[in-house]
Each structure stands twice: as structure tokens, then as C-alpha cells.
């Protein structure tokens, strides 16, 4: 039974990691002033999926600002945690 649960949980974590990568790419596209309605639709979906995991971490680790550039430490922590959890589950 645990094998099936581990398999499903592993795939869910993999999908979450892929959405996190998608969020990163779309956020960079917005930063680089990408045009198109699709960018905002994809951004809305990726943020809706990932923000519930990022928001609590962001309260503890706020983004670092370097002039006009910001580094979201919460994203990095959640991304690495998801990779570690996936490797433990699988």
C-alpha cells in the first residue's frame, strides 16, 4: 500500500516542481517585459498553485533586495524542500 501512496506522492511532487520551474520562467518573462495575454494566464495559474506553499515561508524569509533586483529566498527553500521530499518518497 505504501508503494502506491509513495508513487502518487512522488508524481505530485514532480508536478509541483515542474510548476515551480514554470513559475520561475514566466516571472522572468514578465521581468523581461514579455508581451502576450498567454503570459499573464500562465502566471496566474502557476502562482495559484505555488503561492500556498510559498506564502508561509516568505513570512519567515522575506525577499532580499539588491537595488532593483529581488531574490526570493522562499522560492529557493520550497524548491529544494520539494526536491528533497521527492527523493525521500521515491
Helix, strand, coil tally for the chain in percent (to 5):
80, 5, 15
Instruction: State the pLDDT at residue 1.
Output: 52
Predicted confidence (pLDDT) per residue in 48-72, tens digit: 999 999 999 999 998 888 887 778 8
Mean pLDDT of the chain: 89
pLDDT tens figures, 30-47: 878 877 888 889 999 999
pTM: 0.84
Residue 86 has what pLDDT?
93
CB burial of residue 64 (10 Å; 0-12, 13-18, 19+): exposed
Amino acid at each position: 500500500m505504501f508503494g502506491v501512496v509513495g508513487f502518487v506522492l512522488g508524481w505530485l511532487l514532480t508536478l509541483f516542481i515542474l510548476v515551480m520551474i514554470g513559475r520561475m520562467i514566466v516571472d522572468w518573462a514578465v521581468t523581461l517585459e514579455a508581451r502576450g495575454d498567454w503570459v499573464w494566464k500562465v502566471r496566474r495559474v502557476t502562482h495559484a498553485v505555488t503561492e500556498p506553499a510559498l506564502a508561509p515561508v516568505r513570512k519567515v524569509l522575506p525577499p532580499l533586495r539588491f537595488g532593483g533586483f529581488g531574490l526570493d529566498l522562499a522560492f529557493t527553500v520550497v524548491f529544494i524542500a520539494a526536491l528533497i521530499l521527492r527523493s525521500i518518497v521515491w
